[in-house]
Structures are given as C-alpha cells and as structure tokens.
Amino acid sequence: MKWLLGIDIGGTTVKMAILDLQGIIVEKWEIETVILNDGEQIPGDIATSFFEKCKESNKRPEDFVGAGIGAPGFIDFNTGVVERAVNIGWNNFELIGEFERLTGLPAVIENDANAAAIGEMWKGAGSGATELLAVTLGTGVGGGLITNGQIVHGTVGMAGEIGHITMLAEGGVLCGCGRRGCLETIASATGVARLGLEKRKGQQTVLNDIQAVTAKDVFDAYTKGDRIATEVVEEVTFHLGLAISNLANSINPEMIVIGGGVSKAGDALMVPLKKQFERFALPRVFESTTFKIAELENDAGVIGCAWLAKQMFLKK
C-alpha cells in the first residue's frame, strides 16, 4: 500500500495527515509550531512526529510516495526555500532540503492558501472544476487561482494575493503588507470586526452590548436586522464582490469557492456577495460561474499538499 503525506504549516500549529492515493485521510494530527530561534526546529519536529505516527499506525516510511508541504510567506518554488515568513521567523529558510534530509522523503512545497485551493478542487466544494478561484476569509484574506487544473504562481510566486488588491486608493487602513486600503483590511475577520467597532460609535445597535466585537457578532446582528451590522455587511460585500468580479472577468472561473472563518456566516455572507458579484461581473461571466462555500475546513491544506505530492512523485 502506498501513502501520501500532507503537511500544512501555520503560525500556531502544524497540521499533518496520511492519505491514500485517492485522497482519503486515514490519519491526521497536529503539533505545535515552535517558532523559537526563527523556527529552525520546525522541520525536525515534523520529521519526529511523522516517524512516531508511522510507528503507531504500522506504516513504513518507505511506502510513502512523497510529501507535500504548505507554508506561509514568500516561496521560491524552484528551490523549496521560504524566502520570508514573518509569523514564523523564516528568512531564506531551506525547508524542503531540510525536510528531505531528515525524513528521506521527496517533498514539494506550495503556498498554504494555494494548497487549500487545490484541496477544495480535489476533494471539496470545487471537485471536478479545473477553472477555479478560491478565496479564504480568515485573519487575513488569501486566495488561489487554478486554471486547467493547475495553480497559477506568476513570475515570482505572487499570483493569487487577493487580499492585497487595493480597494481604497486614498485613506485606507494600514495593512500588514505595509500599504493602505487592501481588501484584507476590509473583508477579513479582523476587518469586519474593525468596521463593526467603528460604525457602532454613537449609534443604536446590538453591537454596543458586546465588548470585543467579532466578525461572527456582526453577521449574527445582520441576520437579526441590525442597522449598523447591515451597513458593515453591505460595505464588506461591496468591496469583496467588486474584487472577485474583476478577477472573474479576467480569468473566467467555472467555480468560486469561499472559505475561512468568515464563510461560516453562510447565506448572511453569500447572498449579498452574489448580488454585488452580479452587479459588477460581465453577464456571461456571472451566468457561467458557480459560487460555493468551502467544504474541507482545516483539512483543505493537507489534502491539497497530498495532491501535489501525488502529481509530482507518483509518475516517477
């Protein structure tokens, strides 16, 4: 029996999974992301955990086709080097080389948001679609562009940085990227919460009863007809719908998959978002595009990474 290893490195935890060649998870677990000393021990922690899990589950490392690793930050896909991952502390970190040295497994690297998009294409909401736009609305806004069944990387791997489309040319909030007015400052979970806090000042709203307003609080208030929450949701979906429609007008995806914590708002997000998408998208694009909420949640990254390993190494 042959196996695939999927690894999704986050700032808090590393998600790991063993999958069969059909993409079915047979084992999954997490370990802490230890970022001490600029994250230098992370590959070693992953390798140790992998060998321990093999022993527990009676699997042999030599039966693994390979590993796919999803990592945050800027990546050199040719060398497997993470050029910069601020939340972890990596700078020109040879992640793939170190992992392969420690485990003996061949490995392929991908941006974590792209890996999640691939996972949704293979086993999730985008199953069967080869032209897909994935948008992740979490602490930030991430995304992945898939065409002809393959992730679009661009010249230096920056394709799909949806969260850094400029929505406010002047006067926008400072983004983590160092610029102002990015989509991430508006449509992320932190952006939605920030707008709720700003708009409730001096207004009559149920949001005044909540000390630390979250994106979920805003959408819950919206479903109850709260006026201020409605203003926030309308502003968020306006900008998000405008950005997505412009992307769709350019790449004409078959499917748009919305994931991340904010997507759990369900129809409270999707109904007004689709209205804005219809408003700005070319009619032919709107009519040919299906919207779905992502289905794989925290498993999307490891599944996408396993698909990459299968595509890269099974044919060899």
* pLDDT of amino acid 85: 87
CB distance 236 to 187 below 8 Å: yes
* Residue 307: closest CA among 2, 6, 1: 6
Tokens of 68: 């796919």
Q: What is the pLDDT of residues 237-253, one digit of tens each?
A: 999 999 999 999 999 99
Mean pLDDT of 153-167: 92
What percentage of the chain carries pLDDT values higher than 90? 87
* pLDDT of amino acid 207: 96
**pLDDT at 35 > cutoff 70:** yes
- The CATH number of domain 127-295, selected from 3.30.420.40, 3.30.450.60, 3.40.710.10, 1.10.10.10: 3.30.420.40
* pLDDT of amino acid 312: 93
Domain coordinates in residue numbering, the chain? 3-117+298-313, 127-295
CA 143 to CA 117: how far, in whole Å?
7
Q: What is the pLDDT of residues 214-229, one digit of tens each?
A: 999 999 999 999 999 9
Q: What is the pLDDT of residues 273-286, one digit of tens each?
A: 999 999 999 999 99
**pLDDT at 176 > cutoff 80:** yes
CA 144 to CA 153: how far, in whole Å?
9
Domains 3-117+298-313 and 127-295 share a fold: yes
Fold of the domain built from segment(s) 3-117+298-313: Nucleotidyltransferase; domain 5 (3.30.420)
CA 202 to CA 139: how far, in whole Å?
27
Of residues 35 and 236, the one with the higher pLDDT is: 236
Mean pLDDT for the chain overall: 95
